[in-house]
Structure 1
Amino acid sequence: MKYIAFILFTVMTNAAAQLMLKQGMMSLGPISFEGVNPIIKLLQIVFSPWVFLGLCTFVISMASHLYVLSKVELSFAYPFLSLAYVVVAVFAYFVFREDLNAWRIAGIAFICVGTVLIAQSGGADQGHEPGEGGKATQTTSLSTDKISGTVR
């Protein structure tokens, strides 16, 4: 449970990036590539303020996720990213006035229950180095000598 804060930071930055991208695309209006160089249009989209900020936030989210992956099992960390769906749905309801009907609420509830079950599995306490509070994960590295069969 030691890395839950980092996992939740990853979830929140991922969700924030989605919301920024949505705001950016709403501010640009409907996209059309007719009569316009597609590369120029793509650059206009990428460098519009909200879209650019959203992409930068995704980079921060990915850096945080890489840190988390260096500390905990993938099968523990990755399912937490589904909480971003929950955050996005709730904020989209309040910020963009998007529909949050019974089916979506039921789906959100299932996601939350599943995430709680995964959190109870304790995978975050199993670090890669001994002395981090969990058992060490064995890793095997393959050198080019092992692959080619050369013995030194």
Structure 2
Amino acid sequence: MKYIPFILFTVMTNAAAQLMLKYGMMTLGPLTFAGVNPILKILQIVFSPWIFAGLCVFVISMASHLYVLSKVDLSFAYPFLSLAYVAVAVFAYFLFKEDLNAYRIGGIALICVGTVLIAQSGRETHDKEAALSTEKLQSERSIIQ
């Protein structure tokens, strides 16, 4: 449970990167490769300010995720990334006026419930690890005495 803040940081940076990429693509307008060198067009896209910022934030998000993976089970950490869908949907509604209909809200609710259940499974694992650690310390103390 002590790594939840790092996991949530990963989620929020992932969502922020998505929003930056979307805004960047909106500022560029519709993509057309007609009569343009595709490599130059790709470079133009990648180095536009919002796209570049979004890619940089993705790198930060990935670095955070790698740190989390070094500390907790993948089966615990990875499902939390689904919260990025929740954050993106909510922020896209407010920032870009995207539709947030009943089906999407229902899906968001299911994602949130699933994430809470997964977080609870981590608490059980943490409690078991704490109990094992306490037992180990007590046995080491009894050996020393």
- Is TM-score (shorter-chain normalized) higher than 0.5? yes
**Corresponding residue SS for 2:51:** helix
Q: Contact (CA 8 Å) 1:72, 1:125: kept in 2 or not?
A: no
Indicate whether 1:103 and 2:103 are aligned: yes
The letter for the 1-side match of 2:8 is L
Tell me, in whole angstroms, the C-alpha distance in 2 between the residues paired with 1:105 and 1:5: 25
Question: Normalized against structure 2, the TM-score is what?
Answer: 0.86
Indicate whether 1:125 and 2:126 are aligned: yes
% identical equivalent positions: 80
| Corresponding residue for residue 36 of structure 1 | 36
Alignment of 1:1-152 (within 5 A): 1-122=1-122, 125=126, 133=130
Q: Contact (CA 8 Å) 1:17, 1:55: kept in 2 or not?
A: yes
**How large is the RMSD of aligned CA atoms in angstroms?**
1.7
The letter for the 1-side match of 2:120 is Q
Q: Contact (CA 8 Å) 1:69, 1:77: kept in 2 or not?
A: yes
User: Quick check: which one's helix share is greater?
Assistant: 2
| Cα displacement string for residues 19-66 of structure 1 (whole angstroms, at most 9, x for unaligned residues) | 000000000000001100100000000000000000000000000000
Residues 1:134 and 1:108: Cα distance change in structure 2 (over 3 Å)? farther
Tell me, in whole angstroms, the C-alpha distance in 2 between the residues paired with 1:9 and 1:73: 17
The letter for the 2-side match of 1:15 is A
Structure 2 runs not aligned, ≥5 long: 134-145
Structure 1 runs not aligned, ≥5 long: 127-131, 137-152
Residues 1:37 and 1:120: Cα distance change in structure 2 (over 3 Å)? same
Runs of 4+ in 1 over 4 A off after TM superposition: 132-136
